[in-house]
Amino acid sequence: MSQSSNFDSRTRTSNLVSFKLEDIRLQVENKEVADVTVNLDYIDGLNPSELKNVVPIANNIKDYLTNYPNNPNDLFEVINRNLTLELLSDNNLGFPPC
C-alpha cells in the first residue's frame, strides 16, 4: 500500500483533515484496485488536540477493504456505506457513538 498526499487544511469555519490511500486491492468480484480519499471535517472551534490520529483510521480502512467481509458482488455505494458504519462503530477509533 502506498499512502500519499497526506495534508491538513484548516480554515476559519472548519478543520479539514484529508488523506489518500492508493492501490487498495478490494475483495470484490473483479479484485478491483481503488484509491481511497478520506476527508474528516471537524466542527469549528474544535481544540486541535481533539483531532483524530489518521494512522489507525487509514489502517482500519485498508484492512476492511482488503478483507471485505460481505458479498463480493456489492456495489461501491454499499461497500462505502458498510465501511462508514464499521468506522463509526469501532470503539478503538474514539468516535462518539452514532
Q: What is the pLDDT of residues 49-90, one digit of tens each?
A: 877 788 999 999 999 999 988 888 888 899 999 999 998 888
Q: How many domains in the chain? A: 1
Overall average pLDDT of the 12-29 stretch: 80
Quick check: is 98 in a domain?
no
Quick check: is 68 in a domain?
yes
Give CA–CA dist 24/31, Å, rounded. Answer: 10
Q: Determine phi and psi for 38, rounding to 5 degrees.
A: -120, 130
List the domain range (segments joined by +) for residue 36.
2-93
pLDDT tens per residue across span 24-40:
998 777 778 889 999 88
Quick check: is 82 in a domain?
yes
Residue 86: is it exposed, middle or buried by C-beta count within 10 angstroms (0-12/13-18/19+)? Answer: middle
Quick check: is 70 in a domain?
yes
Residue 27: is it exposed, middle or buried by C-beta count within 10 angstroms (0-12/13-18/19+)? Answer: middle
Quick check: is 32 in a domain?
yes
